[in-house]
Amino acid sequence: MSTGLPKLDAMLGGGLLPGTLAVAYGATGIGKTHLGLTFANHGLAADGARGVVLDMNGRGDSQQHDAYAARLFRWPLAPWTHTVTPMSDPYPPPGQMAAFYSNALPWVGRVRDYQVPTPDGGFEFDWNWKAMYNHALYTVRPFFYFHFAAGTRRVVVDGVEPMDAPADSIQCFMFDELYRKTIHRDAETLGMEICLPVWAHRAFIDAHRYDHNGITTLLLVTTEETRLEDLLARKVATGDVGATANTILVMGSERVGTRLARMLCVVKHRGSAMSDEIVEYKVGAAGIEM
């Protein structure tokens, strides 16, 4: 599955494999968002539909996804706001199928920040937070489902912030839940969970089945490390999604003479040929140039 960057596709032996998870690690400002938007936008040419962008950064649109998309691809990256509560009319109103951006999951920090102690000495999610989270899923799950039903086959998740122990990150918890229970859920099952009562929407569900095994996800993770050498030496911690990802890309900086250069390397790419070269790239007005 082409990333939209020919040089990177060559390094990946043809591109990202359909139906897999790829993770790009790098410090803030290194170009991860540009990479993600390029991959999502290229879906229009490669798949017939652009990819969707889920911003998990609690600071809102700090990544400037809309500005980047407009400047790089003349793509008006409108926000998805349609919410489907149980037994309500599930179908998106006019204009929402052109909305490929969502930031409905704004929580950052540690899982423990959203938990309360239990009488047996353990911890469980605070009821108030759980209610807010479940309500946010009434927006996020239809966002994925209706776009997948319309042909989208690419997901970009941005804004995952640094955490010493990824297993403690609320963002990693939410992503894992979404990846297993929504992105890679059987289309018929997901449709029946969203479109209630099922008998009233059976024709739509049957007519809009898709193969969830063909959906490719690119997760962009911010790291504290900035140098490529440090990123290459980075150990995979417990709960790190990179441990189970099909593909790992690292984006870092290195001193070249009197300047600081951006470098990219493919660390892992299961199931296909990959290059072991380290390639310099630039982030300019036209996006990422390699």
What domains can be seen in the chain, in order of their start residue? 6-105+135-257+266-275 (3.40.50.300)
pLDDT for position 105 = 96
| Tokens representing residue 276 in the block | 């072991």
Residue 181 has what pLDDT?
97
Query: What digits encode the pLDDT tens for the residues 8-26?
Result: 999 999 999 999 999 999 9
Strands 247-256 and 115-117: unpaired
> What local confidence, expressed as pLDDT, does residue 241 receive?
86
pLDDT in tens, 253-270: 999 889 999 999 999 999
pLDDT category of residue 59 using cuts at 50, 70 and 90: low
Spell out the residues 6+ positions from residue 165 whose beta carbon is closer than 8 angstroms to its own.
237, 238, 239
Two structure tokens written together for 84:
């489907």
CA 62, CA 210: separation in Å to the nearest integer? 33
Strands 259-269 and 247-256: antiparallel
pLDDT of residue 239: 75
Most confident of 64-73, 135-144, 159-168: 135-144
Asked if 228 and 263 count as a contact pair (C-beta separation under 8 A), the reply is yes
Question: Which uninterrupted H or E stretch holds 142?
Answer: helix 127-149
Nearest to 24 by CA among 249, 247, 223: 249
Residue 95 confidence (pLDDT) above 70: yes
Q: Mean per-residue pLDDT for 135-157?
A: 98
Render pLDDT for 192-230 as a digit per residue (tens, 0 to 9). Answer: 999 999 999 999 999 999 999 999 999 999 999 999 999
The share of the chain scoring above pLDDT 70, in percent, equals 98
Burial (CB count <10 Å: 0-12, 13-18, 19+), residue 143:
buried
Q: Which pLDDT belongs to residue 57?
A: 81
- Report phi then psi at 10, rounded to 5: -65, -40
DSSP label at residue 97: G
Six token digits for residue 53 = 């962008």
The answer, yes or no, to whether residue 285 has pLDDT greater than 90, is: no
Out of 142-146, 192-196, 234-238, 282-286, least confident range: 234-238
Percent of the chain topping pLDDT 90: 84
Collapsed DSSP state (helix, strand, coil) of residue 6 = helix
Q: Which helix (H) or strand (E) holds 39?
A: helix 32-46
End-to-end CA distance of the chain: 18
Q: What's the token pair of residue 267? A: 């660390």
Confidence of residue 166 (pLDDT cuts 50, 70, 90): confident
Please give the backbone phi and psi of residue 268, each rounded to the nearest 5 degrees, phi first: -145, 140
Least confident residue range of 62-76, 134-148, 166-180: 62-76
Query: Which position has the higher pLDDT, 272 or 92?
Result: 92
Alpha-carbon dihedral 24, 30, 36, 38, rounded to 10 degrees: -130
Amino acid letter at 194?
I
